[in-house]
Chain A
């Protein structure tokens, strides 16, 4: 037969309440084993409290060629950041 086990992307949420973060990938024949393999390979040192796996083939990514069109328009909208607005000396906290 000789078919390679499909590739899965692995995301782990650490103890500290942060969002799931991509940590790498693993091979597995099905979703259950993908979770188990991710557990065995990526949480040997207490790295996580929750795992997501997604078939790599199902990940849709933005294209590097679109980078300027997608991300540069946000660069000049500096008024979206709080530091854009000076706070008067007299007003201590805001």
Chain B
């Protein structure tokens, strides 16, 4: 997902009887559905895991501006241009809400951004794929935002107050993202020319598997996943969400008249779900490691924006200090 494979620092999930009184009280509050707020006592591992998870999520929003931003200048109508601009702007906004939430845990945004630029922090694998045609913009809205919403709606109920409140805000805004993507594809596939439809099929062919990878590898056996679920900062398993996504998406593809590029995809009446083919996890781990088609480019672009902007940020601070000094002198 936007935060994939978050390390919790745990070797195993401990039972209540193995915890200190303070930890036990903390876990019991979580079990009772009470929100944890920034100033409350929390285990160090919970705090660190949350910083990792929320900042990964924030980085994903910010890096995620790049592949779509790539098409703002070439959007084929003024209406689509405005919609895309507003959408990419939302992503910046969502990044900001999330960094805000992370900052309540006692870390500064500059520190988090430094981690990203140094290549030490992760962001979602999906944003390391290129946007090659206009249909990619529709496909990202439909599949990538669709997958993201699936993960984010449950997170509105997560245990950490600021994260849950940020997610509520994000989810409210994000359903527009998925719809605009699907709407764009309807124009290409149902009302468009043969060339436009071919463009959409090509985009689906390229984005389908990376979209399924977004949910992360199967975590049924993962200790980190179990720990995150115990802390209620992860609500469903990766496989559950992925299955739900496939089940939801297949009929939507059918409506568009597009073929999902998976020969093994078929309805399983017994399970009441679609079966689907094997995911190339080798590709996923490589993208995560930095070997995706655009990893270097994305980080370079973010780093450059940051470095080129340093003198602007400094100037604003310098001016504020000068003005404060002048006011103090006048008083």
Please state if A24 and B41 are interface contacts (CB–CB under 8 Å).
no
When A and B form their complex, which 9 residue pairs have the shortest distance between CB atoms, in order from nearest? A29-B316, A30-B320, A29-B320, A25-B100, A1-B314, A4-B110, A24-B100, A64-B39, A64-B40
Contacts of B173 in A (CB 8 A): 45
> Interface 1/0s, chain B 154-180, versus A by CB < 8 A?
000000000001100100010000000
Please state if A24 and B166 are interface contacts (CB–CB under 8 Å).
yes
A3 at the interface (CB under 8 A from B): yes
Please state if A5 and B317 are interface contacts (CB–CB under 8 Å).
yes
Please state if A4 and B109 are interface contacts (CB–CB under 8 Å).
yes
- How far, in Å, is A3 (CB) from chain B's closest CB? 5
Beyond A7-B103, A24-B166, A27-B109, whether A2 also contacts B310 by CB under 8 A is yes
A33 at the interface (CB under 8 A from B): yes
Which of chain B's residues 313-331 have a Cβ closer than 8 Å to chain A? 313-314, 316-320, 323
Q: Chain A: residues with CB nearer than 8 A to chain B?
A: 1-5, 7, 23-27, 29-30, 33, 41, 44-45, 61, 63-64
> Interface 1/0s, chain B 8-50, versus A by CB < 8 A?
0000000000000000000000000000010111000000000
- How far, in Å, is A43 (CB) from chain B's closest CB? 11
B93 at the interface (CB under 8 A from A): yes
Contacts of A64 in B (CB 8 A): 37, 39-41
Please state if A61 and B317 are interface contacts (CB–CB under 8 Å).
no
Range for the number of chain B residues in contact with chain A: 20 to 34
Please state if B316 and A5 are interface contacts (CB–CB under 8 Å).
yes
A-B contact pairs, 11 of them (CB 8 A): A1-B318, A3-B317, A23-B169, A24-B100, A26-B100, A30-B316, A30-B319, A33-B316, A44-B89, A44-B90, A45-B173
Picked from A3, A7, A27, A61, the residue with its CB within 8 Å of the CB of B314 is A3
Beyond A26-B96, A29-B320, whether A5 also contacts B39 by CB under 8 A is no
Picked from B86, B89, B108, the residue with its CB within 8 Å of the CB of A4 is B108
Q: Chain B: residues with CB nearer than 8 A to chain A?
A: 37, 39-41, 86, 89-90, 93, 96-97, 100-101, 103, 108-110, 165-166, 169, 173, 310, 313-314, 316-320, 323
Contacts of B37 in A (CB 8 A): 64
Contacts of B317 in A (CB 8 A): 1, 3, 5, 29
> Roughly how many angstroms separate A64 CA and B93 CA in the complex, as a whole number?
30
Q: B323: nearest residue on chain A (CB-CB)?
A: A30
- How far, in Å, is A93 (CB) from chain B's closest CB? 37
> Roughly how many angstroms separate A33 CA and B93 CA in the complex, as a whole number?
16
Beyond A45-B173, A64-B39, whether A25 also contacts B314 by CB under 8 A is no
Please state if B97 and A24 are interface contacts (CB–CB under 8 Å).
yes
- How far, in Å, is B98 (CB) from chain A's closest CB? 10
Contacts of B93 in A (CB 8 A): 41, 44
Max chain A CB contacts within 10 Å: which of B37, B96, B169, B310? B96
Q: A4: nearest residue on chain B (CB-CB)?
A: B110
- How far, in Å, is A40 (CB) from chain B's closest CB? 9
> Roughly how many angstroms separate A30 CA and B96 CA in the complex, as a whole number?
18
- How far, in Å, is A53 (CB) from chain B's closest CB? 13
Max chain B CB contacts within 10 Å: which of A1, A24, A27, A29? A24
- How far, in Å, is B23 (CB) from chain A's closest CB? 16
